[in-house]
Chain A
């Protein structure tokens, strides 16, 4: 069942076209992540759903109700801000219950809701403190608790984890996901961190320069990126893009060597950008890629080998810690079923 519907949504700031023709359908209980580089309009879109920004064109509806002209308070949403935006002059308990206080919820029900949220988030010992006496992670929990207490139609998250240190961020990532499973609430989550997007989302919406580039599950995006931008944005370390050619025979050539597979691709001959994920390489004596190792990063479970090859930087992800030295010459072959071919002019996918 569609719960949040965005139809042809537009946003103009004066003459600047910040968002154009945004169409998203979000099902009940779905966790959707809006991801994109800084300035792509993802936060603006979230704020338009929240009612903090005007909608220049199109319709937004929540639970079957058109909300374009409704105030934020009338939309039945809860939002977690990047800065947490706790009320500094209220103790944690009142921060959590402020929305209920405004709704004139009976005291007893409010206390029950606050206690419940505090229990879920482990905030019990802090209810009597002011936000300034909490650590970053605890403040983050209060911000989430404030949203939970309301039982809203939709949860909106605006980069809620970006102010936390790396370790806590990973922990809270799991926490948010666990919460979502517990509450089964429709959630829209904005981030610029593709790892967050990959690990948390049911579905990812990739935005670039105010437009939706691709929508799909994390694996769909990883395995069949719609264009070079998505391919480069999703995945860490980033995908290798190598200059290549499609020959008249329909075969692909990289660095002057024709690849045996992947059979004739249905594209015109000419220059092409070949995308190879770092894990889709393997050493082979007859491999097409040939280069000198420049950097080796050992992470324990896996190793990233960087080398210069065919005028491009190449990254190879190897499981474990193989003995590879800087300056060594390597010959690698590509996993040909998993090649991504992009048109050099606009980056569109060809295969």
Chain B
């Protein structure tokens, strides 16, 4: 571990504080706004008597669908995460363990990367047309499918790192002990990559939860997810700053919770195999 002393320590602390401030400040500002009345926000008053008016409005007012939006987001993020984990883990296991011809494995992995390399917006147009053609436009199912497509590459790559890290000997020992390959996978390998599953799952869920561009184009009012709903607080004739801020704060809660519990696994997962 790097130990700083004297001046370099002061500079280090300063830089850390600065970067933490840069990351956290906008969010704190938004959080601050969520406790003000609209007029105070527009006047730019800094400190006021906090009010929960915006939260009450977002959650329970007639013209807000926020709870419905949260439910939509939960469904999309939850279902797509589960699908991504099942497909991604099996694909990663297959690529890491079974003897694929080199070009097949490399080709597959390169192909999955394509989805991470091109901006999702370029895919939105075609997807819009496809889903309109087959009658899935504005359905949650369509959104789930797109989120699976977008999240699968990262999951496959991450789970592959975990499976590559797992000594083959352990599985072979299980197979000598009486396991079929599927038993060895299920009873030995899978429990051992559980940290990877948690990390990949949290990342996929958070990504899906926050995804905006695709959701904006493929959903309707009834199927809008949380980010889309937040954007809709800003309309042509009226911008509801307070409600928007409150909705933003609320929308971070699930992601924050997941990150809080999963961060240990995520850091481990992202740096897996980097050092021995």
Residues of chain A having any CB pair with chain B under 8 Å = 50-52, 71-73, 77-79, 81-83, 85-89, 98-99, 102-103, 146, 150
For B191, list chain A residues within 8 Å (CB).
89
Q: How far is the CB of A221 from chain B (nearest CB, A)?
A: 30
**Contact in complex: B174, A98 (CB < 8 Å):** yes
Could you tell me if B178 and A85 are in contact, using CB atoms closer than 8 angstroms?
Answer: no
Are A98 and B192 in contact, CB atoms less than 8 angstroms apart? no
Minimum Cβ distance to chain B for residue A70 (Å): 12
A73, A86, A87, A89: the one within 8 Å of B176 (CB):
A73
In the complex where A88-B192, A89-B191 touch, is A83 in contact with B169 (Cβ < 8 A)? Answer: yes
Q: Which residues 171-192 of B have a CB within 8 angstroms of A? A: 172-180, 183, 188, 191-192
Which A residues are in CB contact (< 8 Å) with B179?
A: 73, 102
Q: From A156, which residue of chain B is reached at the shortest CB distance?
A: B176
Quick check: is B170 within 8 A (CB to CB) of the other chain?
yes
8 A-B contacts, Cβ less than 8 Å apart? Answer: A51-B175, A51-B176, A72-B176, A81-B172, A85-B170, A87-B173, A89-B191, A98-B177
**Across chains A and B, which 3 residue pairs bring their CB atoms closest together, nearest first?**
A85-B169, A102-B178, A85-B173
For residue B6, CB closer than 8 A to chain A, the reply is: no
Q: Which residue on chain B has the smallest CB distance to residue A102?
A: B178
Asked whether B167 is an interface residue with its Cβ less than 8 Å from the other chain, the reply is yes
Please, which residues of chain A bring their CB within 8 A of the CB of B192?
A: 88-89
Q: Is the CB of B177 within 8 A of A102?
A: yes
- Interface contact B175-A71, CB-CB below 8 Å: yes
Chain B residues within 8 Å of A, Cβ to Cβ? 167, 169-170, 172-180, 183, 188, 191-192
Give the residue among A77, A99, A103 with the most B Cβ atoms within 10 A: A99
Q: Which residues of B contact A77 (CB under 8 A)?
A: 176
The chain A residue with its CB closest to the CB of B190 is: A89
Of the residues A73, A81, A88, contact of B180 by C-beta under 8 Å: A73
Most A CB contacts (10 A, CB to CB) among B170, B176, B191 go to B176
Give the CA-CA distance A146 to B179 in the complex, in Å.
Answer: 14
Give min CB distance, B104 to chain A, whole Å. 16
Report chain A residues within 8 Å CB of B175: 51-52, 71-73
Give A23 to B180 CA distance when docked, in angstroms: 29
Chain A nearest CB: distance from B178 CB in Å?
A: 4
| Identity of the chain B residue whose Cβ is nearest the Cβ of A146 in the assembled complex | B177
Residue of B nearest to A149 (CB): B177
The CA-CA distance from A81 to B170 in the complex, in Å, is: 9
Q: Is the CB of B167 within 8 A of A83?
A: yes
Residues of A within 8 A of B169 (CB): 81-83, 85
Interface centre among B174, B178, B188, B191 (most CB of A within 10 A): B178
Beta-carbon contact of B177 and A73 below 8 Å: yes
Closest Cβ–Cβ distance, residue A109 to chain B (whole Å): 15
Q: Which residues of A contact B178 (CB under 8 A)?
A: 73, 99, 102-103
Q: Known contacts being A73-B176, A73-B177, is A102 close to B183, with CB within 8 Å? A: yes
Given A98-B177, A99-B177, A99-B178, A85 and B183 contact (CB-CB distance below 8 Å):
no
